[in-house]
Amino acid sequence: MEQGGAKPAAPEIGAAKADAAGHGVAPRGATWPARRRLATALAAFVIALALLTPGMRTPFGKDAETQSAQWVVDIVKHGNWLLPLDYYGYVERKPPMFYWLGSLWPWLRGGAITQTDARLPSLVAGAAVAALILDWAAADFGAACGWLSFVFLIGGYGFAARANVALTDMLMTLFLIGAWRAMRRALAGAAGRSGPLIAGVLLGLGVLTKGPVVIVLAGLAAFIYIVLERENPFTFARRGWPWAMLAIALTIGAAWYVPAFIAGRSQDWGGVFFDENFGHFMPVRMGGTGEAARPVYYIVARLLGAMMPLSLLVAPLLLAGAIGGFEKSRRHAIRYQAALALAVVVLFSIASAKRDDYILPAIPPLAILYAALFAGALRPDTGAARIRDAIAWAIAIVMPAGVIVALLAAHAGVHFARFDARFQSSDASYVAGFLASAKTLRLPFIAFTAATLAGGAFAIRALWRRDAIGAGVGIGVISLAGSLLFAGVIKPIVAVTRCLRPFVHRVEARADGAPLYVAVNDEELAWYYGRAIPKLPRAFARAGPPSDQQIFLIARPTEMTLLAPDVRHALVAVMSSRAASGNRPALYELRPLAPPPVPSAPAGGVSGLKPGAPSVK
């Protein structure tokens, strides 16, 4: 298959100049001009901001987000920059870089802190990652590949959906990707101190964002790359720059960790640090927390799902790597990106705790790898190129056809009951939101449909003309349309249906100043309530409240076992949340327990007298 599009620029690694280790390093000026690169990166950053902004005002969907927002509130209102506390007094478990950045704008402008404020660091970091990936791919494979990588990255729902959440993962990904790029010339054996210095600073900032796992990921990726290049890892270990880079990163991290350990002794912050950095990684039998323990294949499965339909391109990617199907001048760059993606998959697959957010650092390098398949990295005479074309044909035909079928089914009133039963509740909500959007035919869904059909037609035309880059653009448009629809439209719709804000407002009106409790500390309820809702005292959970008090309780079905049976029977249901969740909370009035029955008096005596006591006349 002939490679269409612009002529690729000289790659950063694999160009004319080679070092003693046998790696090619592009000489200065070999890549596209610096001014053009800067202008293109700035344009990409602005475009990414515009594409990723929809959904920023979506109601919080996780307790972790509401707790992050509460730590931002504590920094702004109470000045606890070292160890912020949430509404319940829990100390933040991660380093505070994300919360520091999230506090800057609210601190400068004043006023109430909104969900958008708490999510702003993720949005800016996501746009910066997209711009960085565009520039990197353009330097290695040409400008066309740079923009294609940009589209593939934002076209991955797993990336776009995490650019507007109040969690630390996107900011950590920015620092890790930046450090990985800065390390590149040093790993290739090129002289210079600026790369390791920049990498050390960025890794240190990553440690202040997510902890030492950032250093572990970078070190594992470097090890994998050296092995893929068939070099001796001990040769690099004897060099000075890795240790200098490590020392810089640890010094920056220690600037916060040491004071945090000292200040957090009274709150057992050291135990929290151990659980967050080692307890989640180790299995229970080795002292781990056992939290979020999942099968070893979980990370791979979630990573594939996060980039569908682009994830289908993993087949030609793996085949080309196995049979030597990449162009010789591109292999170093391909291996470098693959090393980071493999490091993320390997580290978190062997860890006991596996969360969806852990896949995020693997998505940017995969976006470059998938784009490179269409931008000159593949040899056109290999089986990998033919498989790539077959997958592109399938995406270009199946995706538009699926949208048409969904439109027809939604307007025909078809209900996929058996199909819905196979999904988890959250996934079923997304499917329902998609079908509802198809039925109402509002502007976002019309734009999505038009983009999908246009992308499919463009890809088919390019494939027919044997234009690889054109085919990549077509399926990139399809992926981008789907990603933005779900991240900016479907996800907010589902979040609104699951939001507890209306329920909390109704609870406030009904309680009207009476004592209000929760069965378990609930960060989401507390955020919408504006302060902590205290946990029900243990005495009340066992024996009910005093007889002279009216008490209200918010509890979920799974929390009822925390109450004594008699207390559960004494509950009076007041109102239930309308949130679309199987474990939605409800408001109860907790009434005093009925006094025990008075035993009847024995014959010839008065009730309550001990046996043998004289009767009262």
Q: What is the pLDDT of residues 374-399, one digit of tens each?
A: 998 898 888 899 999 999 999 999 99
Q: Which of 168-177, 293-302, 436-445 has the lowest mean pLDDT?
A: 436-445
Kindly indicate the confidence band of residue 216, based on its pLDDT and cuts at 50, 70 and 90: very high
Half-sphere exposure of 19 (CA within 13 A, CB side): 17
Produce one character per residue of 264-274: b if its CB has 16 or more CB atoms within 10 Å, e if not. Answer: beeeebeebbe
Is residue 181's pLDDT more than 90? yes
Query: Mind listing the pLDDT tens digit for each residue in 91-127?
Result: 887 899 999 999 988 888 877 888 888 999 999 999 9
Extract the tokens encoding 317: 């990617």
Annotated domain spans of the chain: 501-590
Angle at 245 between CA 219 and CA 22, to 5 degrees: 65
Find the mean pLDDT for residues 173-186. Answer: 94
Kindly indicate the confidence band of residue 12, based on its pLDDT and cuts at 50, 70 and 90: very low
pLDDT value at residue 25: 45
The more confidently predicted of residues 251 and 191 is: 251
17 three-class SS: strand
Find the mean pLDDT for residues 473-496. Answer: 88
The dihedral over CA atoms of 423, 428, 432, 434, expressed in degrees to the nearest 10, equals: -80
C-alpha to C-alpha distance for 560 and 497, rounded to whole angstroms = 24
Which residue's structure tokens are 């076209």? 155
Query: Mind listing the pLDDT tens digit for each residue in 511-569?
Result: 888 889 999 988 989 999 989 999 998 888 888 777 767 789 999 988 888 888 888 88
pLDDT value at residue 414: 62
pLDDT value at residue 32: 55
pLDDT value at residue 273: 58
Is residue 283's pLDDT more than 60? no
Which residue's structure tokens are 């609104």? 496
Kindly indicate the confidence band of residue 592, based on its pLDDT and cuts at 50, 70 and 90: confident
Find the mean pLDDT for residues 593-597. Answer: 64
Pick the most confident of 171-175, 410-414, 504-508, 593-597.
171-175
pLDDT value at residue 191: 62
pLDDT value at residue 255: 93
The more confidently predicted of residues 420 and 501 is: 501
pLDDT value at residue 611: 41
Extract the tokens encoding 98: 């994300």
Kindly indicate the confidence band of residue 571, based on its pLDDT and cuts at 50, 70 and 90: confident
pLDDT value at residue 209: 94
Extract the tokens encoding 248: 């810089």
Q: What residues contact residue 470 under an 8 Å CB cut-off, 6+ apart?
A: 4, 5, 458, 459, 461, 462
Q: How many helices (H) and strands (E) does the chain have?
A: 27, 6
Kindly indicate the confidence band of residue 5, based on its pLDDT and cuts at 50, 70 and 90: very low
Which residue's structure tokens are 């349309």? 481
The more confidently predicted of residues 328 and 235 is: 328
**DSSP state, residue 189:** T
pLDDT value at residue 6: 42
pLDDT value at residue 278: 55
pLDDT value at residue 22: 39
Q: What are the φ and ψ backbone dihedral angles of 30, each rounded to 5 degrees?
A: -75, -25
pLDDT value at residue 452: 93
C-alpha to C-alpha distance for 54 and 457, rounded to whole angstroms = 27
pLDDT value at residue 195: 87
Is residue 23's pLDDT more than 50? no
Sign of torsion over alpha carbons 287, 291, 295, 297? negative
Query: What Cα–Cα distance (Å) separates residue 563 from each residue in 187, 399, 540?
Result: 60, 51, 9
Q: What value does the mean pLDDT of the chain take?
A: 82
Kindly indicate the confidence band of residue 179, based on its pLDDT and cuts at 50, 70 and 90: very high
Which has the closest alpha carbon to 205: 267, 251, 155, 137? 251
pLDDT value at residue 11: 44
Kindly indicate the confidence band of residue 29, based on its pLDDT and cuts at 50, 70 and 90: very low
Q: What are the φ and ψ backbone dihedral angles of 325, each rounded to 5 degrees?
A: -85, 0
**What's the predicted TM-score (pTM) here?**
0.86
Query: Mind listing the pLDDT tens digit for each residue in 36-81?
Result: 888 999 999 999 999 999 888 888 866 788 999 999 999 999 889 9
pLDDT value at residue 269: 55
pLDDT value at residue 9: 42
Extract the tokens encoding 336: 């470098």
